[in-house]
Amino acid sequence: MAVMDATIAQQIVETVKETCGYDINYITDRGIILASTDSGRIGDYHEIGFQAGRKGTAIEVEEDNMYEGTHAGVNIPFYFHHQLVGVIGITGKPDEVRRYGQLAVRIMRLMLKERDLEQSLEARRAEASYILHSLISGCTVNRDMLTGFLDSKKLPAEGRYRIVRIYPKKGIKNTQLNTLENRIEVKLSDARDACYAYDYPGEFIVLQKAETFAESEAYWKELTELASVSAGSPRTLSHISSSYEEAGIAHRSGTGDYAVFDALPLAFIFSSVPARMREAYVQRTVSGLSNRQKEILTEYYKADMSLKNAADALFIHKNTLQYQLDRVRDMTGLDPRNFQDAVSLYIALHLQKLEEASDR
């Protein structure tokens, strides 16, 4: 007999009663009432329920107490996946409750199919999580398991993929986190170009075919309302751990809530610099500047060193901007308007963002 959880059995009998209005018992193959809408009968022995399950045929009882622990009613054995699951007993005069017998069986079958589906989905999520975590950590994955998984998703074993990492923004409410999960679930649950895992509460990890990534960029950018999204460069599955690491570098590059590693050539160079060297470089360049001065430099370089455009972005006069750039020159010994000095300051600002990101 297939094993049925008592909580689920109770949900089933209550659901059936809501439909037909009669008391329902769920009886095991040993004749024990596992669940009932009449709570006083739970745990009692049901002779006819036992006989119906043993013989595999429905048995009707015309009067109460004809058999041990039995009321008038209809008792129908129920099978699922060719195994006896239990016996459904409907209490009442057989002529009145008989017509509800098959209805009860159909409801029960639908509920068990739904449970099967949920368990199947959970199993597939667990499989995806295991395979993805094995791949991104560089561990060996059983070839047959990997092949079967890729076949089920219609993903080519020899293709090139990107890892996309989605980090929920700090401080978002639980309702917003649920919204983010739902949006990703809806997008990727039936996707044939990607699969994903969720490391609660830290991040979503997505494996996506490289050739379809560009088509999805608009969707990934939409998620930045609630999350930071970063992607590694295209890699084969045997080297996908590098794409995972690159996505992390892109996330820490300080370039915003959406970042693609191969669109950030400097990020790779910056991340390769040892932490102590990054710290020393920042210390001798921009560490003495105020946050406002760093903001001014950042906007100045975003504007391609255009005084007018930078001043407009900062809502200050050009003369004020000139004065601030002079102050930076005097404090650092590096002139923001000189190309070589500007490169030094630009690198220092990015290295400081990496340092701040690594401290979070």
Q: Are 132 and 195 in contact (CB under 8 A)?
A: yes
Q: Is residue 315 part of a domain?
A: yes
> Please, what is the Cα angle at 24 between 23 and 26, to 5 degrees?
155
CATH number at residue 169: 3.30.70.270
Give the tens place of pLDDT for each residue, 336-350.
999 889 988 998 998
Which is more confident, 64 or 50? Answer: 50
What number is the average pLDDT over the span 65-72? 74
Concatenate the DSSP letters of all residues of 299-319 into one string: HHHHTTT-HHHHHHHHTS-HH
Tell whether 283 and 257 lie within a shared domain. no
Residues 135-182 pLDDT 10s: 888 888 888 888 888 887 788 888 889 999 999 988 888 788 888 888
Task: Please check whether residues 93 and 178 belong to one and the same domain.
Answer: no
Residues 89 and 194 occupy one common structural domain: no
Residue 68 pLDDT class (50, 70, 90 cuts) = low
Percent of the chain with pLDDT over 90: 30
* pTM listed for this prediction: 0.50
* Count of beta carbons in the 10 Å neighbourhood of residue 41: 18
Do residue 171 and residue 255 come from a single domain? yes
Scanning 137-158, the segments in alpha helix (DSSP H) are 143-153
CA distance 197 to 303: 39
Could you tell me the residue range of the domain that residue 35 belongs to? 6-112
- pLDDT for res 320: 95
Query: Are residues 252 and 292 both part of a single domain?
Result: no
Q: What CATH number corresponds to the domain at position 315? A: 1.10.10.2840
Tokens of 188: 């990727």
188 and 248 in a single domain? The answer is yes
Label residue 48 exposed, middle or buried (CB < 10 Å: 0-12, 13-18, 19+): buried
Provide the domain count of the chain: 3
Q: What percent of the chain has pLDDT over 70?
A: 92
Looking at the domain assignment, is residue 118 inside a domain? no
The whole-chain average pLDDT of the chain stands at 85
pLDDT digits (tens, 9 = 90+) for 120-144: 666 767 777 888 888 888 888 888 8
Which sign, positive or negative, has the C-alpha torsion 180, 185, 187, 191?
positive
- Residue 165 is predicted with a pLDDT of 94
Residue 129 lies in a domain: no
Predicted pLDDT of residue 311: 94
